[in-house]
Amino acid sequence: MKSIWVINGPNLNLLGIREPGIYGSLSLQSIEDHLRKVADNAGIDITFYQSNHEGAIIDRIHEAMGQADGILLNPGALTHYSYAVRDAISSVKVPTVEVHLSNIHARESFRHTSVIAPVCAGQISGFGATSYELGFHALLDVLERPNS
């Protein structure tokens, strides 16, 4: 059975409370519950993790090496400046899809650049909680490709 780890960065524990006009009204738990059903239907083992601490996220990415087949990553604000998270993704060689609830390219200019996207299989943003499900299916597609 394939294993996907979903890793969420800073402030995503406040979903449903924090700026619902931008991030939606669903809690992170609600998003995880839905994604767990999607994974169960696909026969995929799924694990969730959230931290507000960059080093803890890096440690979790490192732990994925040899344990997870793929990573679905919402790095939150770390997207725009964390070369350490970028290097962790690049180092572990676990296929990763970056997801965002909001369309980062339609927001403040500092959010337009992801330092993480270049080392990911792809990026999905702007579809609210559905971004996670779209990212999950995209990651499954990546995992079925030869040499993934």
The residues assigned a catalytic role are 23, 100
Q: Which two tokens stand for residue 28?
A: 């992170």
| Secondary structure (3-state) at 76 | helix
- Give me the helices (H) in the chain, please: 20-23, 28-42, 54-64, 83-92, 130-144
Contact call for residues 49 and 8 (beta carbons, < 8 A)? yes
Contact call for residues 81 and 115 (beta carbons, < 8 A)? yes
